[in-house]
Chains A and B, each alone.
Chain A
Amino acid sequence: MRRNAPALVAVAVAALFFALLPFGLSDYHRGLAASVAVYLIAILGLNVLTGYTGQISIGHGAFMAIGGYTTAIMSHYHNTNLILTLPLAFVITFGCGVLVGLPALRLSGVYLALATFALAVSIPQLPLKFSKFTGGSAGISASKSVSNSWLYGVSWSTAAIAFLFTWLVLRGRTGRAFRAIRDSEVAATSSGVTLAIYKTLAFGVSAALAGVAGSLFVLATNGFAQPNEFSVTLSLKILVGAAVAGLGSLWGVLLGAAFIALLPTLSASAPLIGSAHGQDVVFGLFVIVVMILLPTGVAGLIPRLRRLRVKA
C-alpha cells in the first residue's frame, strides 16, 4: 500500500482535476476535452495488446468503427438509451476482438501488423456495401444528439472506469501472463501460460476498450457514424498516441491522448506554414521527434526522473 501511495495520490488529484475542469471551460473546449477521454480509452485498449502483450495492431480504428456503429444502429433503430449502448459495444467488440485474435495466433511481428492494417482498411468499407442498413457513405445517426457537458461527464466517467478495469486486468495473474508472452513466448509457454487463451483474451479486452471508445467517438461527432470517420488515419493516430504515451505503461496514456486530440487543433494556427496545412506538418514532425528523443514515450520519463532523484 505504501509503495502505491504516490500513484494513489496522483489518481485522486487527477480525478478531482477532471471533475472540476468543466466548470472552467467553454462549451467548445468541453467537447475537445471529451475527445481526449475518447482517445484515452482507445489508447488504453491498444496498450493492453501492443504494450503489454507485444502483439502489434494497426487496426484499432476498425474496432472503434464496430463500437461506433453499434451505438448508432441501436439508437437509430431501437431507440436504446445511449449509455446502455456502451456496455453493449463493449460486449460486441470483445467478441469481434476474440474472433480476430484467433487467426492472429498464427501471425507475428510485421505480418500481424499488416494483417491488422488490412482490417483497418476493410471494415470501414463494409457500411458502403450494406448501405440500406447502415446509411452508406452518408452515415447513420443516433436518435438524439447530446450536449458537450453530457459528453464530457460520460466520457471521463467511462475513461475512469476503463482505466480502473485495465489496471485490475493487468495487475494480477492475467497481466503477468500478458507480459510473459510479450517478453518471450517460449518462456511463457514453458511456465504454463496457454498462449492461445491469453492472446485471444488480450485481443478481446483490447478491442472491447476500443469499441467503447468508438461509441463515444460517434456520440462526440453529433451522433453520426460515417465510414470515412473511421479511416486508416484513425488507426494510425491511436498507434501514434500509444507510442507517445509509452507502450507497456499506463501513466503516459493521458498525455498520449491529449497529444493526438489537441495537437492538430493547436498546430492548425502554426506560424510560418499557415493555418490550412500546418497541422499535418507539425503533427508529423512532432511524432518523429518524440519517437527519436523519447524511445519509451512520456511514461519512460518517470523512471528516468526517479533515477535522477535517487542520484541526487
Chain B
Amino acid sequence: MVELARKLPLPQRRFPASPVLLLLAAACIFLTVESLRSTIFAQLTVAGVATGVVYGSLALALVLIYRATEVINFAQGEMAMAMVYVAYQLTLWGLAYWEAFFLTLAIAFVFGVVTQRVFIRPVQGRSVIAVVIVTVGLFILIDGLVEWKWSANQRFMQAPFGNKIYHLGNVPIARQDLGTIVITLISVSALWAFFRFTKLGLGMRAGALRPAAARLVGVRTNALLAVGWGLAAVLGAVAGLMTEPAEYVLQPTLMQPVLLYAFAAAVLGGLESPGGALVGGIALGIFLNLLPSHSWGFVTSALELPVAFAALLVVLLIKPTGLFGHRTVRKV
C-alpha cells in the first residue's frame, strides 16, 4: 500500500496564502518608511537587497533541482565556487572580465550536465539519503580538486563593477550593489522566460510535474533532468561570480556561508516555489544587514547564522512547508 501512496497536490492556487502576502506588504511598507526617515537604514537596505538577490539566485538553483527531482544538492555552492575559479583562470589567460564571465557560464552548463549524468543519475530514484550523501561526496570532491589545482591560498580577481558610488538623494549606493542586482535579475528573468516560452522549458516543467505523463507524450524527461542541472549550475555560477567581488578575495570557502543562507532562503520560500526562493533570499539579505545595528547590540557577527536559522525554524514551525509552499495531501 505504501508504495502506492500518491501525492495529490491541492487545487493550484496562483497566489500564496493571503496572510503571507499581507506580511510581505507590511514589511515592504515598513522598509520604505524607515528608509525615507534614515539614510543609513536606506543604505543598509539596498546593500541587503544586493546580498539577498545572490542568496536568492543560489536558492533558485536549489529549487530548480528540487522541483525536478526532489533532491537537495549540497554541492551547489561548491560547484559555483569551482566555476568562479574557472573564470579566474580564464582572466589569467588574458580574457577580459566579461568575456570570461560568459565563457564561464557556458562551461558551468556543461559541468552541470556532466555532473548529473555521471554522479547523480546512478542513484536517481533511490532514497533521499543516498542522493544527499552523493551530493555531500561531490561537495568534498570538488573542494579537494579546487585546492589541488589552485591551492587554498587567497586569490584576487579584477572587480567587474569598479568601486564607484552613486547618490540617490543623499543615499549612497555602490555601483557594485547595483550591478549585482541588475545581473542577477537579468539571469533570473531569462530563466523565467525560458521556462515560460520555450518548448524545452515547458517540457522540463511537464517532466517535473507529471513525469510519467510527460514521458507518454514524448518528453525525454531523463535528458531534461541533465539540462536542469546544467541551468542550476549556470545560475550558481552567476551567484558565485557576484559573491566574489563582495568578498574581495577568492578562496575555496567562498560559497559555504552563501550556500547556508541559500538553504535558509529556499526553505523560507517553500522549497517548491521559485518566486519564493528569490523573495526569501532578498528578505534574508535585508534582515541580516539590518540586524547588527537594530538588535541593541545583542546580535554580533557570531550570532548571525544562529539567528538566521532560528528565524527559519520559527517559520517552519508555523508553516512547515515554507511561506509559499503548498501543502500536499497524502493518500495512503
Contacts and interface: CB of A to CB of B under 8 A. Distances in A.
Interface of A: 50, 56, 58, 103, 106-107, 109-111, 113-115, 117-119, 121-123, 125-126, 128-129, 183-184, 186-187, 236, 239-240, 243, 247, 273-274, 276-288, 291-292, 295
Return the 7 tightest CB-CB contacts between A and B, nearest first: A280-B144, A284-B141, A287-B137, A284-B140, A118-B309, A281-B144, A128-B302
Interface string B131-162: 01110111111111101100100000000000
Interface residues of B, number: 48
Interface of B: 1-2, 66, 70, 72, 74, 119, 122-123, 126, 128-130, 132-134, 136-145, 147-148, 151, 260, 263-264, 267, 271, 300, 302-303, 305-306, 309-310, 312-313, 316-317, 320-321, 332
Contact of A107 (B119, B151, B316): B316
A50 B99 CA distance: 47
25 contacts: A50-B129, A56-B129, A107-B316, A114-B263, A114-B267, A118-B309, A118-B313, A123-B306, A129-B303, A183-B2, A184-B2, A236-B74, A236-B136, A239-B133, A243-B133, A277-B151, A283-B141, A284-B140, A284-B142, A287-B136, A287-B137, A291-B133, A291-B137, A292-B123, A295-B126
Contacts of A282: 144
Contact of B321 (A111, A243, A288): A111
Contacts of B264: 118
Contact of B132 (A56, A121, A279): A56
Contact of A292 (B122, B128, B148, B263): B122
Most A C-beta atoms less than 10 A away, residue of B142, B271, B302:
B302
Contacts of A125: 302-303, 305-306
Given A111-B271, A118-B312, 15 more contacts: A106-B316, A110-B128, A111-B316, A113-B72, A121-B260, A121-B306, A125-B302, A247-B129, A276-B148, A278-B148, A281-B144, A281-B145, A284-B141, A284-B143, A295-B126
Nearest to A272: B148
| Interface SS of chain B | helix
A291 B140 contact: no
